[in-house]
Amino acid sequence: MPTSKKKADQYNDPKHNYLDYWNGRDYENKSEIIALKRFLKGKHFKNAADIGGGFGRLCIFLKEYADKVTLAEPSQQQLDIGKDYLKDQPDIKMVLTQADDLKFKDNSLDLITMIRVMHHLPDPTKEFSEIKRVLTDDGVFILEIANNIHARNRMKYLIKGEKLPTKPVDIRSDANRNDEEIAFVNHNPKTVIKQLAHEGLKVEKVLSVSNLRSQSLKKVLPESAMLAIENVMQPTLAKAYFGPSTFLLIRKAV
């Protein structure tokens, strides 16, 4: 299993523009916003940072909940795309930094989000310890996990007569499965919750997200219907870890 401890500059590949990835993924984007709104409802923060925030997809939304928002990202190319994407948002700060060595002071951020980054962190121990260091004592950390034990995968493991893996599962193709290529793993959220606890971080709430992620469903159901169903599914199926993405609301353990 590759580690994440080397320089996380994989998104500097000029052939790859992460903005394009979002074409045709409005349902996933809006599902994530629904989840974040649920967790952030009624809260307001002084200093927020979106770690591994890419080009800043979620930063404008986060501004509704925080006085200051920082896009914290290890890829210069992502930040360069962000400069254009966020050109009308001069107050959103950009910092080149990666999660295992954060360029923030101790206890300086009261809201941290890290969405769609766990895919690239086979062992997030150092990252969690850094996040705990920079989080204020009453701060909130929202983490998205690429969930390996979602309903469809559980069915696959059952059919194969295999146990559900507790360790991260490498989901790269055979051709890309080498140390030079970017790590791509799905996690068991129950293991991640234990890893967080080990670093002194406690999960308060769980949501099951992007529950209807399916090209076939997108063809037959209007987006508004999918999002209405998604809205109901997120809390009700959270404990079953039903969807391919799990959102956690985390605080420092006291």
Residues that contact ligand SAM, how many (by CB under 6 A) = 20
Among 27, 62, 74, 242, binds ligand SAM (CB under 6 A): 74
Shortest distance (Å) from residue 32 CB to ligand SAM: 7
Cβ-based nearer residue to ligand SAM, 115 or 226? 115
167 Cβ partners below 8 Å, 6+ apart? 188, 191
Quick check: 57 binds ligand SAM (CB under 6 A)? Answer: yes
Quick check: 252 binds ligand SAM (CB under 6 A)? Answer: no
Quick check: 98 binds ligand SAM (CB under 6 A)? Answer: yes
The partner residues of 114 in beta bridges, in order of sequence, read: 143
Q: How far apart are the C-alpha atoms of 248 and 146, rounded to whole Å? A: 12
For residues 111-170, which are near ligand SAM according to CB under 6 A? Answer: 115-117, 120
What would you measure as the largest C-alpha separation in the chain, in angstroms?
54
Stretch in the footprint of ligand SAM (CB under 6 A) among 84-92, 95-103, 193-201, 244-252: 95-103
Closest C-alpha among 166, 102, 170, 155 to residue 131: 102
DSSP labels for 214-249? -HHHHHHS-HHHHHHHHHHHHHHTTTTT-SSEEEEE
Cα distances from 108 to residues 47, 63, 133, 239, 254, in angstroms, run: 7, 17, 9, 32, 18
Among 47, 49, 69, 73, binds ligand SAM (CB under 6 A): 73
Shortest distance (Å) from residue 74 CB to ligand SAM: 5
The site for ligand SAM (CB under 6 A) is made up of 4, 8, 11, 18, 51-54, 57, 73-75, 78, 98-100, 115-117, 120
